[in-house]
Amino acid sequence: MSDDNEPENYNSNEFKNIDKNFHEIIRTAPFERKGVVTYKKKRIGVYTSGDVGSRIRNAETGEYYKYRVGSNYENLFFSVRLANGDCNGKNKLAMLYFTSPIHYAKYLHNAVGEDVVNIWNIKRDKLIYQMKNKV
């Protein structure tokens, strides 16, 4: 039973349909059944962030962060650009932001190289240090 004072679910299908930065992409994902792993095509919903100056948005949840695209604070997030046409619309080269490379790998069923993870960790840790010490 719904109460009129409850916040609306902005992650519902109704809101996803009107959100120009929500896209469904298709990825091959592992599927386990009775101990046997096979691979199937799976629809995955992603939220893209806008152009430089717009707020960074979590690619999985759609949550907006206070940080801006194009700022140094981008290094707090693991970002990937989808340039394969999966996200046609205003943002032709869709930028997706995740909380970490592991979050990205799990959500989009892609592997991330250890060297990529290490470089991201160094950049992120350096920025966090600067933020804490106001360097």
Residue 11 near residue 61 (C-beta atoms within 8 A): yes
Q: What is the residue extent of each domain of the chain? A: 13-133
Residue 15 near residue 9 (C-beta atoms within 8 A): yes
Residue 123 has pLDDT above 50, yes or no: yes
Residue 53 has pLDDT above 60, yes or no: yes
**Across residues 53-82, what is the average pLDDT?**
94
pLDDT digits (tens, 9 = 90+) for 94-107: 889 999 999 999 99
Q: pTM of the full predicted structure? A: 0.78
Contacts of 71 (CB under 8 A, 6+ apart): none
Residue 4 has pLDDT above 60, yes or no: no
Question: d(Cα 51, Cα 76) in Å, to the nearest integer?
Answer: 18
